[in-house]
Structures are given as C-alpha cells and as structure tokens.
Chain A
Amino acid sequence: MPAFVHYPLLWGLLLVGVPVVIHLINMLRHRRVQWAAMEFLLQSQKKNRTWIMLKQLLLLLLRMLAVAVVVLIVAGPLLRNQFGNLLGSTKTHHIVLLDDSFSMSDRWADSSAFGEAKLVIQRIGTEAARQRQPQTFTLLRFSRVARIDRGTQPDLLEEPVDTGFSSKLDEMFREIEVSQTSAGPTAALDAIGQLLGESADERRIVYLISDFRARQWDDPTDLQEQLLQLNEADAEVHLINCVDRARPNLAITSLRAAEGIRAAGVPLLMEVTVQNFGTTTAKEVSVLLEEDGHSRPGTRIAEIPPGRAVMDRFLVHFHTAGEHQMTARLESDAVAADNVRYHALSFPVDVPVLMIDGSPDARDARFLSIASAPGGPVRTGINPQIETPRYLSLNPLAQHHTINLLNIERMDRSAVEALEQYISAGGGVSIFLGERCRSQFINDELYRHGKGFFPLPVVGQTELLVDRLEKAPDLQVGDHPIFRRAADERFGFIKTVIVQRYFAAPDGWKPEADSTIRVIARLRNGAPLVVERRFGEGRVVAFLTTAAPAWNNWARNPSFVVAMQDMQAYLSRRGPSEVSRVVGSKLELELDPDQYQPQVRFMKPAEYAAPPATIDAAPTADGSLAAELAETDTSGIYEARLTTTNGTSEVRRYAYNVEAEEGNLKALLGPQLAARLSGVKYEYRQAVAFQYTVSELAGYNMSEWLLYLLVLLLIGEQILAYSASYHPPARSRTLRNAVFA
C-alpha cells in the first residue's frame, strides 16, 4: 500500500464520479427527434448494442481511471520499502553522513561546501518533519566517527523528527563547523553499520554529503563494497556533492627541522614545503613565519608549478633552552586549514654525545671530541662524553643523541644488543675502525650477514697502495649531508687528506640495490671508505679508517672538524616532540613513574586561557605510566605539563597539523563517480541544485510512472472514443455519395 505525500488530496478521488455525472446530465439534456426511419435505427442499434455498450463502459472506465490517476499524481504516491511494506511499517530513518573534513571549508563567493551541506541537511530535516509517518534522524560527522569507540555519540542518533526538528537543527548547526581532520567516508559507513545494526522494520535512507575528493574516491574499492552492502540491506543511498569544481589551493605540506644539532644558541636549518594543488602556476608565494608566536622575516617562493611542491629553507636561532615552536602561514585561499603549519622544537642547553673508545688512551675519541666541540666562542651544542665499551652494557643509552664507536676491539653481546636497540629506536651511531679492530668480530658480531647494524663485511686491514705522484685526492666523497660543507669547492681542504690504511671490503662487494646501505665516500682506488645504512629508525655511518691521525691525516685537516660536526648533526636523534602529528590522532605519553607524578595537564591550542584538562596517567603492564589526550581536533601546539617526583615542572610541546593531502581539492563529479561505483544503486545530486521533493524524501516516486500510465490511458481513451464514433468524421460521408455515385 503506497503512502501519499498529500493525503487530503485523496479526497479528490471522488472526482472519478464526474464522468458518470456528466453522462447522467447528458442523458437528461438529450434532445427529442420525431423520426421516421426508426426501422434502420433500430436495426443498427440491435446490431451494435453489445459492442457499443462494451465500448461505452470501457470508455467510462478509462475516463474514471484517468481522473483517478491525475488525483493520485497530485497526491504524490510513494512506494515504500518492500520489507517495510510486508511488515506494515511506515517508519523512515534518515541517516546523514556529513563530511566535515577541512576540505569541506572550500569557499567561493558567499558560500562554502560545508555551508551547502548544512542547507541540504536543513532541507532534508524540514521535509522529514512534514511527513505523517514516523521519521527518525541520525546525523554523523566524519570527524566524530573515530570517537565512537571512545563513547562519543553521533550528533543525532535516531532522533524522532517532529515539528520542532527544523529549529533544533538550526540551533545545532550554529555550533557545528568544519573540523580540521581528513576523515574519510569509509569509517563513517562502517560506523553506521555498527551503530544501527540490522533493522527490518524501518526504511533507511542514507545521505552521504561530501565533496567527493579524488583522494578518497578515485579508487573507491572499499567504498564500493560498503555501498553495495547498503544496497543489499535495502537502504536507499543518496550521494550529495557539495562542490562543483576544484578550486586552486596552496598548502604547507611540511614544516620541519633539517638535520642539525638542536641546542640553545646553535642555529638550526628548517625546511618548509608548499604544494600547489591548483592547475595554474602560483607565483611569488609568501610564507609568513613565527618563532614562538612572534613574527620573523618570512620566505618567498618564486613560483610553484601546478601539482608540484617546492621546498624552501631558513635558519632559526633560539638563544634559550627549552620548548620552542615554529609556525608557517600562507596567505588566504580556498581552504584555510592547510595554510598554516606548526612545528615544536625542544632545545636543550647542549646535546650529550657518547664516545666509546676501545684504546686505553682514547686517542680517537679525543680527536673526535675536539672536532665536535672545539670550545671557545663557537658553540656547537655538543657535549661529548668519552667512555669505555663497558659503559654500553651498564648504562642507558637513550639520553645520548649520538654514539660514536672508535677503535673497538670487541664488545659484550649485551652491549651490541643495547646498541641495536638504541639505533632501532632512532639513535645515530658512527663507527671508526682502527688497529685494535678485528674483522672477525666486526663480521660475526656487528655485521652478522647484514642482520647487524654494521653496514658491510670487511676482510681486514690493508694499505692504500697508490701512486702518490699522481695528483688525485685519496678521499672521494659524494653529495651527502656529512660532506656537503666539508667538500665545498671553495675550501678544497678535503682534497689534501691522505689515507694510508683502511679496512677493505671483500672484492666485488657492493650494496644491494634495494637496501639502505650506501657508500658515501671512497678511496681513490675505488674501495669504500665511508658507508651508511639505516637500521630501524636510526642511522649508522661506518668509517673504515681511524678518527685519529694514525691511518690518515684527516684529523689534522680543517675539513675534519666540519665533517664531524655535520656528522653529529646528521646522526642526532630527533626528539619525540618533533614528529608532526595529524589532527585527530591521540596524544599519548609514556612516563616513568619514578620520575613523574601521574597527573598530566594538557593544554589545547585554542584553549590556553581555559583551565587545562588534567588527566591521570594509568599504569601499564610494563610498569610505566600512560596518559593520553584524545581531543586533538584542532591543529596547533599542544602542551603536556608534567610534574616530576621532586616537584619541578616540565613542559612538552607537540605539533598537530592537518593532513596536507586533504588540501588537494580535486573532486569527482557525477559521471566520474558513476564510472567508479558501477553496480551501486544510488542517487547523485549536486548540493546547490538539491531541492528535495517530499516524494523523493519519503520513498520511490511513483508519479512518473503514473504519468506514463495517464498518457497511455488518455491515448486509449481517444482511440476508444474515436472508434465509438464520438469524434466527428474526417469528412462528411453522405449517403448521397453512395446512392448517386
């Protein structure tokens, strides 16, 4: 039994009696004719009576039916869900999935994609409120999907729709703005299934209101499956697109510190990357910079080709130790959220660097130490600490920014494991070989057929046998951060370095193509001298010669100082605060209960004036304390204020940024979506042109089919009426023509 949009109009069905009334009136209005030739008339009537009666009845029926169909079209018949019909249910559940990722803040003229989305929801709500049948409404924003498992409810969950529903939506929308997340529809569609479960006694209409960016919809295999599941569950799917085209947009996709020592008073190079998501070249792009919230001279990028990213570098100089922050901003464009990017930096007074020397006189360590921290007016921020190999087994290593192994004869297995663990966690290790080193130990304990952290096998010490009369540098370096300054052509000191002895690699050894092992410096005979590899999160650089001027004269060369400082900067581990986090991800802290009290106060970027949220860290299985902040919906610098067990305060800063790729405004329109969602039954609409009629809202619109039926009925009526001679003949055929022919 179909429902109707305008039930009162069904009274119009009484109009089906009109043809009968007209017939009766015509019967009364008939004229009387005194007729002579009754004989022929009676014959005709006798002959055609049955057929005429049948045709007239059919004609009457067709006319009554046509009137009824017109009334039904006006009343707006709605075909309900099949199962709902079987069970006699008339409840309709409107499920609105609202994309509030920051790309929805796409602005044009006096509107925005999110504004259009709100208008669409208003229209749906208004029309739903007009329905006579029970209507419920669920509104779920993409950004809130991640919180559902943490107890966060959708904005509206099976909310009954009544007459005041529209004003309720109005009130709610005053507070809802675009989030800074990049949440996609996949999680939202999953969440809907979990929230609503199976219900056979209601009709469900799912509205997916989004900007359908290519990032999520270009290869929508998962989405296609989810939409097909909705189809199988007899839910109607409406895809409503809030944008009509991709607008140009610039985004800061990266703001980070380049390799370097982070220490108070030591300049640090930073990199900012701006991507052009538009289709035309962006010229003279200004990047405004702030250090700890204070403006500083920005940078200017000459031009950014369409679809490309351009990186620019600049120096920052924090004179005081502690937590610092950098902010980069672009001028306003279509999407604001990706025009700003934050970076948090932790600057200690100096950086502890461990130097493990295997020889009693620690000669190599001392040369390296002096090169790393020469002292005097030049601050390198490096604080070298010279220890024996036993130190590795007995002390925690995590506090050291780099560890340098020099002329080590052997180490305990525990020391090797501690080092491997240190490197895997992001630490940097340099290794200088020397006369005390043994190739067997290196190969068996440190290299271990590539499983250890040492980057290559060695065959033993060897002399560099070359013709010294031939003018060629012994040390040939590639383009690498360690040698970039030292090998600068303007100085040329590195060309005077002489290497007499080194540990040779096996003949024919070369790094595998898919490995992270890279030879960054070779001897003039082609033998590798400096080899780098990544191990876990950390880096290892192996020098196959001594640091001290025993096998070479490099330590007496000015380029050594430069190279060693750059090496310390290159290997220096980054603090956890320097990692850029994506908005929406949890901020998790792991605390040592011996050092910190469990109360952690979190400060959000926009709420510095508000009292901080205090969270008690919970003990974990491994005995540490864990505290987390889930509400990280805005980009900016988050602060965690800790209190140590001895009562002092400690502040940690964490930068949260939007996912830069969300700023790519390339969107898919109806035909492109149709090509990618083959097999899925859905209705696609543009939000701007979205005018929901009641029938569309409430179910399948039967009016169109009824219109076709009406046309057929009218054609049939005309044919029947013509055959029943109710139309005047095309030409008056008189008997005279027949008789006098």
Chain B
Amino acid sequence: MPDSKRFLHPETLRRIARLDLRARHVVEGFLAGMHRSSHFGQSVEFLQHREYAWGDDLRYVDWKVWAKQDRFYVKQFEEDTNLRCTLLCDVSASMRYGSQAMNKYEYGCTIAVSLAYLLLRQQDAVGCVAFDDSTRMIVPLRTRRNHLDSIIRALNVSEPENKTEMYQILQKVAETYPRRGLVVLVSDLLVGREGLFRGLKLLRSRGHDVMVFHVMDDDELDFPFTGPTRFEGLELPEHLRCNPRALREGYLASLSSYLEEVRRGCVRNNVDYSLLRTSEPLSAVLAAYLSNRLGRHHRN
C-alpha cells in the first residue's frame, strides 16, 4: 500500500475537512493566522487600554479618551498567529496489537495524519515525532501542503517495536519546541503513569496546549478471551498461561482503575483527553471530537 493511502482515509478527511482544529490555549505562531498569539500587535480585536508611556507609538494613542479625560491612553490589540502543532505518535511494540481492521498503530497514525492534513489545510505549521523508547523520527514544523508526505513517511515504520518511554520523549519535545504550540499525543499510554504525568505537566508548564488521544483495542477494554490462553507480552518479557475468564474480573478492575488514573492525571494537568476504541469509525470519532472542541473554543 502506498504510504499516502495507508493513513489517509478519504472518508475521514471528507468529514473533518469542513472543521477547524483550534488551539484551546494561547499559542505562539510565526505567521499571522487564525489563532490568538501571546504577542500584542496589529489586529482588529481590541484587547485593553494602557496608560501612555514614553516611547509608545503615537498611532495607538486613543484620542477619544484623551479628549474626555485629558489623559493619554494607548489601545492594545490581540495579535493573531498561526498554529504550531506537534504530533507525537507512539510507534512502540504495544501499538502493534489489534483485533479490528486497524491495529492501534494504524489507528493512531491515521488520527495523526488526518489532523496534519486538517492543520496544513488551515495554513498551520505541523511537525511530527514518532517515538517508542526514543524518538524514532522527527519532522520539523512546516506549513507547506506537501509537508504531509514527510509526516506520512515519518510515521510509516515497518514494524512497531520497543517499549515506550514517555517522560524522556515529552521532555525532548519540550526542549525541541520551546515556543508554545499545540501538542497532540496519540498513544495507548501503556507506560509508567508517573513519567507520563510528569511529561504532560512539563509540556503544560512550557505553555503547550496538549491533546491526548488514548487509543485502545476492544480486546483490551473488554477482555473477551475464553479457553486456555498463553498471553505473551508485546513490550514486557513476561508471559502468562491462564484461563482468561478466571482473570477477567481482576483484569477489568485493574484496567478501569488505570483509565481512571489517566483521565484524572490529564484533567489535573489541563490536558484534553480522549479515549478511542479501534473498533469505532475514525471519521465519526474525529469529527465528533473536533466539533465538540470547536464548540468549547467558541464558548471560551
């Protein structure tokens, strides 16, 4: 399958094409665009008045206020900027599991590519990091339309392997992209929770708007196995021979507490969290998510 078609699904793209991906928090861009910048500048959006100080540009003195109050105030405006979005895509061995049409890796990459397509279409800058225990591939931020191919090539690894080391990756991302932007993490998050939360906290502390797409397979969520089964760890060396029904209750309990912990950790760090099943149609899930996010953005 050509690389461009592996992660690009026309149906998904068609459904999200009319939507925008907006940064929920204030981000820094290098072009004037649709996202609010942290810098004041030329814009039609009035923000506030400030008392005139020596050296201010006289163009921004509000003469109407001077006329009424005999004081000099200057007008300050919001500066619009473009979005700098970094897609962090987990390509570790655990993402290889899949019982549906797409495994977690393919599902996650499809999300990332779809979002990249959308962002590039908005004239936003998109970069990409594929990682497992280290960064496998880094694609710098670009706004060109043909940049999508670079991202697809970066994500298209032959076989996901190694385990995920989340904190180091996120730390590296924070260092690589010092300017505030949107960071989208697509992973199954089968990692140490402490490192994950530390990493997310670090990103947030650097001013990034962080989105987490938690990709899980149906089997992982429902554990429908019956009959004697030998489970062999994809990332861990352990294996387990058991009757799955005997362990199902305990497994689901552990998983539930894990998901709850992840959700709470994301909320605590003000990270946008979304759990996705690989069995769910990606187009619908993504469209619903973006619509939802857009609605919240407008409310903000």
Question: Is A726 in contact with B245, judged by CB distance below 8 angstroms?
Answer: yes
Q: Is the CB of A738 within 8 A of B256?
A: yes
In-complex Cβ contact of B230 among A30, A52, A734 (8 A): A30
- Chain A residues within an 8 Å CB radius of B247: 41, 44-45, 48, 52
Give Cα distance in the complex from A728 to B231, angstroms: 20
**Residues 14-56 of A contacting B (Cβ, < 8 Å):** 26-27, 29-45, 47-48, 52, 55-56
The answer on a CB contact under 8 Å between B220 and A728 is no
Name the CB-closest residue of A to B253: A44
Expressed in whole angstroms, the minimum distance between the Cβ of A300 and any Cβ of chain B is: 91
Task: State which of B232, B254, B255, B258 has its C-beta within 8 Å of the C-beta of A35.
Answer: B232
Enumerate chain B residues within 8 angstroms of A36, measured Cβ to Cβ: 93-97, 104, 188, 190, 217, 220, 233-235
A395 part of interface (Cβ distance < 8 Å): no
Interface string of A699-741 (1 = CB under 8 A from B): 0000000000000000000000000111010001011101100
Cross-chain contact B228 with A41 (CB below 8 angstroms): no
Q: Are A40 and B230 in contact (CB under 8 A)?
A: no
Q: Is B243 an interface residue (CB 8 A)?
A: yes
**Nearest CB of B to A47, in Å:** 5
Q: Which chain A residue lies CB-closest to B248?
A: A725
Q: How far does the Cβ of B249 sit from chain A's closest Cβ, in whole Å?
A: 7
Q: Contact at B250–A48, with CB atoms within 8 Å? A: yes
Assess whether B250 is in contact with A734, with CB atoms less than 8 Å apart. Answer: no
- Decide if B230 touches A34 in the complex (CB within 8 Å): no
- Using Cβ atoms and an 8 Å threshold, which residues of chain B touch A45? 240, 242, 247, 250
- Verify if B1 is at the interface (C-beta below 8 Å from A): no
CA distance A55 to B227 in the complex (A): 17
B230 contacts A735, C-beta separation under 8 Å = no
Minimum C-beta distance from B26 to chain A (A):
31
Chain B residues, CB < 8 A from A39: 190, 236, 254, 258
Does B259 make an interface contact (CB < 8 A)?
Answer: yes
Residue pair B232, A37 in contact (C-beta under 8 Å) = no
* B226 within 8 Å of A (CB atoms): yes
Q: What's the least CB distance linking A50 to chain B, in Å? A: 12
Inter-chain CA distance A604–B256, complex, in Å, is 105
Q: B250 near A38 (CB under 8 angstroms)? A: no
Contact in complex: B246, A725 (CB < 8 Å): yes
> B190 contacts which chain A residues (CB < 8 A)?
36-37, 39
Assess whether B179 is interfacial by the CB under 8 Å rule. no
Complex partner residue of A32 from B93, B221, B230, B277, CB under 8 angstroms:
B230
Q: Are A42 and B240 in contact (CB under 8 A)?
A: yes
Residue on A nearest B220 in the bound complex, by CB: A37
Q: Judging by beta carbons under 8 Å apart, are A736 and B277 in contact?
A: yes
Contact of A739 among B238, B245, B250, B259 (CB under 8 A): B259
Q: Which of B227, B240, B253, B256 contacts A38 (CB 8 A)?
A: B240
Min distance, Cβ B40 to any Cβ of chain A, angstroms: 42
Q: What number of A residues sit within 8 Å (CB to CB) of B? A: 34
- Give chain A residues whose Cβ lies under 8 Å from the Cβ of B234: 34-36, 38
In the assembled complex, the Cα of A35 lies from the Cα of B259 at a distance in Å of 18
Complex contact B221–A40 (CB within 8 A) = no
Q: Is B229's CB under 8 angstroms from A31's CB?
A: yes
Q: Is B251 an interface residue (CB 8 A)?
A: yes
With an 8 A cutoff between CB atoms, is B51 at the interface? no
Task: Find out whether the CB atom of A724 lies under 8 angstroms from the CB atom of B251.
Answer: no
- For B277, give the chain A residue with the smallest CB separation: A736
B231 contacts which of A33, A52, A726, A739 (Cβ < 8 Å)?
A33
Does any Cβ of A come within 8 Å of B288's Cβ? no
Contacts of B245 in A (CB 8 A): 724-726, 728
Question: Do A38 and B233 touch across chains, with their CB atoms under 8 A apart?
Answer: yes
User: How far apart sit A738 and B252, CA to CA, in the bound complex (Å)?
Assistant: 10
Instruction: Give the CA-CA distance A32 to B227 in the complex, in Å.
Output: 11
In the complex, the answer to whether B252 meets A735 with C-beta atoms within 8 Å is yes
Nearest-neighbor residue (CB-CB) of B191 within chain A: A39
- The interface residues of chain B lying within 8 Å CB-to-CB of A732 are 222, 224
* Cross-chain contact B240 with A41 (CB below 8 angstroms): yes
Contacts of A52 on B, CB cut-off 8 Å? 246-247
Q: Which residue of B lies closest to A31 (CB)?
A: B229
| CB <8 Å contact, A34 and B232 | yes
Most B CB within 10 A of own CB, among A26, A33, A728 = A33
In B87-137, the 8 Å CB interface with A consists of: 93-97, 104
- The reply to whether B255 and A40 contact each other, CB–CB distance below 8 Å, is yes
Smallest beta-carbon distance B36→chain A, Å: 32
Given contacts A40-B251, A48-B250, contact A735 B232 (CB under 8 A): no
A365 to B135, CA, bound (A): 161
Residue numbers in B under 8 Å from A35 (CB-CB): 97, 231-234
Q: Which residues of A contact B230 (CB under 8 A)?
A: 30-33
Report if B275 contacts A (CB, 8 A): yes
Kindly supply a per-residue 1/0 record for chain A positions 45-81, scoring 1 wherever the CB is within 8 Å of any chain B CB and 0 otherwise: 1011000100110000000000000000000000000
Q: Report the separation of the CA atoms of residues A730 and B65 in the bound assembly, to the nearest whole angstrom.
A: 74
Find residues 260-291 in chain B having any chain A CB closer than 8 Å to their own CB.
275, 277
Known: A36-B235, A37-B220, A734-B221. A44 touches B275 (CB 8 A): no
A34 in contact with B250 (CB, 8 Å) = no
> Which residues on B sit within 8 Å (CB–CB) of A26?
227-228
Nearest Cβ in chain B — how far from A734, in angstroms?
5
A-B contact pairs, 28 of them (CB 8 A): A27-B241, A30-B228, A30-B241, A32-B229, A32-B230, A33-B230, A34-B97, A34-B232, A36-B235, A38-B236, A39-B254, A40-B251, A40-B255, A40-B258, A41-B242, A42-B238, A44-B249, A48-B247, A725-B249, A732-B222, A732-B224, A734-B222, A735-B222, A735-B252, A736-B221, A736-B222, A738-B256, A739-B256
Instruction: Beyond the given A38-B238, A734-B222, please list 9 additional residue pairs across the A-B interface where CB-CB is below 8 A.
Output: A33-B232, A36-B94, A38-B236, A39-B190, A40-B254, A44-B247, A48-B246, A48-B250, A725-B248
Q: Could you tell me which A residues sit within 8 Å of B by CB distance?
A: 26-27, 29-45, 47-48, 52, 55-56, 724-726, 728, 732, 734-736, 738-739
Closest 10 A-B residue pairs measured CB to CB?
A44-B250, A30-B228, A36-B94, A40-B254, A725-B245, A38-B233, A35-B231, A735-B221, A36-B97, A44-B251
